[in-house]
Amino acid sequence: MLSFCCKTDKGSVRPNNEDSFIYRTANNNPENFDIQFYGSLFTIADGMGGHFAGEVASKMACDYVLDYYRISDISDDNTWEKLKGLFFKINEIILRRSFDVSEFNGMGTTLTTLIIRKNKAWVSHVGDSRVYLIRNEEMTQISYDHTEIQRLIDQGLFTKQETERSPARNILTQAIGVDNRLSVFTWAETIQQNDMFLLCSDGLYDMMTDDHILSIIKAKEQHLEKTCKQLIDEAINAGSKDNISVILVKIN
């Protein structure tokens, strides 16, 4: 059994919301996908590009990620391969749209997907949106930040603390729809009862430390709607200039 909450807000500065999210569960399945076989899906995307192109890119990515449910031969042995293939396909579609429509030139999006299937969680990810696992009152970032700053941290040139307010922290090294060279991060693990997963765009974590985020989740763990709302409200109150999106999933 799953409980979950999904919320997004354009924030107090941006005129539009370039974030998108989509989910499919047993109780939200208008296409009548085989949720029992494929599992539940939660996806978040943070678009980029002028003239509302970011909105187009993130929505396209979320719409096409549902093709996961049309993969005919999915199994535990090939899920990573199939998810990577799906992300490559979405990348090609958005890249082609960017070339074909002049006002969409240069658009792109992050794309982060969590699948809960039977007793396992699968993550497929490109960009700097994030997935966290909350287990035993500890929160761990699962996803990898495809950013220039993270690349410099990996090279040992900076510490994470030294780059927290760097203006370069949101320069992406990977995004959907920007280049035909794509590196997809994947992760999988057996889930445990009371595990929680947080998917969020950078509008949330840019303004709040992981410890602060965790304290809010722990304080309102039984009220996911209130938790999501407070996370967004506090990011806005902290001065977030970006769109903010949050998906919180709990394994009951």
What local confidence, expressed as pLDDT, does residue 5 receive?
A: 97
Output the pLDDT for position 165: 67
Q: How far apart are the first and last CA of the chain?
A: 5
In this predicted structure, what is the pLDDT of residue 190? 97
pLDDT in single tens digits along all 252 residues of the chain: 899 999 999 987 778 899 999 999 999 999 999 999 999 999 999 999 866 799 999 999 999 999 999 999 999 999 999 999 999 999 999 999 999 998 899 899 999 999 999 999 999 999 999 999 999 999 999 999 999 888 888 887 777 776 676 767 778 999 999 988 899 999 999 999 999 999 999 999 988 999 999 999 999 767 999 999 999 999 999 988 899 999 999 998
CB 125 within 8 A of CB 143: yes
pTM of the entire predicted model: 0.95
> pLDDT at position 162, please?
67
Q: Tokens at residue 91, please? A: 């990348």
Q: Report all structural domains of the chain as residue ranges with CATH numbers, in order of start.
A: 2-140+174-251 (3.60.40.10)
CB atoms within 10 A of CB 80: 16
Write down the pLDDT at residue 155.
85
Q: How far apart are CA 10 and CA 16, in angstroms?
A: 6
Q: Tokens 């690349």 — which residue?
A: 151
CA separation for the pair 229, 247 (Å, rounded): 11
